[in-house]
Structure 1
């Protein structure tokens, strides 16, 4: 049995930040457990590199959903990161905080917790971890560990689209992260403007603690059960490289394994809806009907079209165009590799341009 102050299950964005802050600010001994790999291909450090792995299960778990009547009987695949750093290691790196009204609604829903989840309360936390390339106070931070910048390359079609949306009546916005993202413009990304490389939570929060003995990171570690003493969680049982391990936390066991794996682990440990656990033959430890329910996802509707000219990046990831772009990036840190391909967006209500945004386009 390994002993720690805290055990953090899930080495994604939330788990890495929590583990790092517990070590640095509380002088705690922390075990961070990640089911995915700790190593990833250097191509993922390039802003455009993540596209190479979007259809691969090397760093993603492809969750197959059940057939949905609203989708004409189709069941979509929902990918989830399986690598240290989680989504911040494999995503498109867009830096987007959301709308202040959403925070107000969350705050109302969670007022019984005694914690202030309002935009005003959380803004200092956003700015404290941020190091923006050109935006500053009061909405942005400078000098924090998380690098945020504009992209190094934009498609001519992206520029044309931003101008077209303005002509249709959607105003230009230079910053989507002020709490009111209404408008059209160019998005910022978690990319280090000095190196033109991805800045994941591993780069920002874990790398500075690589040699700190208080933080123990175990990757390829699948947590199978939360261990209880009575009603108190005392640790976890996990499997790594075919060997079962037990770890104990003297203070807290923190679940940060995401919207799918966290409720799954709770239910495997006997915490969840009584009837559902009984159906699966799992002994009930605590009836908690909300576990595993009310999942809401942000669905997207792709609209794909062709152009009469080479305005985008189609075909740029293979053959001579790929080699040329790769050489330009390695030599000068410029060119198509310095984009994520997700360059612009607009927040608006398609039925009323004056109303609070209901879609992100």
Structure 2
């Protein structure tokens, strides 16, 4: 659902820049983020809005956002009824952003807000629809985080294609053409770091050194990282199904070879007790079948979710719509 300035009861003027910030349980880092972001945007010399999407926070984040909104007129608060996930919160922000350019950035300050000025300058001077923020230095991340990130990008570039920028997360600038194209896509499980390159729009890159989290704890544990990887692969390629087919063929070939070996041993009269080999073969084939069923299940689950038609998020409040701060409910797609 797109919200225009007329729908929101706001003046018809459209801000030059919208900054979309998904937020979930970030009461500690929000004040630090504001101190860094506001001077950067004020110095740009363009009209802007900052659209924070509260993804069902359970701490003091809503109260902190309300206090910040009273002190910062350009700050806009969108609140989701429940936690819907980072990508869906980003979707809610993109659907409601009114700016000619839209920047998405996380609140943890690992992606420096100062880079936004460089992104906007590059997009305007080169006529680009997309500017990716690319991390050239991840030394502040743990060794495990760097290793899993490198594995993830190698995997998606191999499956999806080399158009996916290496080490580019969700810190990017989008022109209105790109935003409108994304909002028209019927994606229920969007992965924007893959969807945006898929559009094939003119794009550029701005590099920066990834910084340590300013406060609080990471909201992307290993379980969510695995979920993101699964959504990335199953949402953009049928390669896992082909892998399952090849694994099945390999299992059949192995079984045929084992059968030939058993017959040969019988003909030569060298019958050896084969409990160990039989056990290993059964375990191997069982694991192979479960793996193939699991891969098929991922695709069936995606089709089931799409057929249900449930919205990926529910907005219960938008400060740009309800001037009296009375909650309302709308759904995404």
Normalised TM-score (structure 2) = 0.24
- Bigger strand fraction: 1
- Bigger helix fraction: 2
Normalised TM-score (structure 1) = 0.23
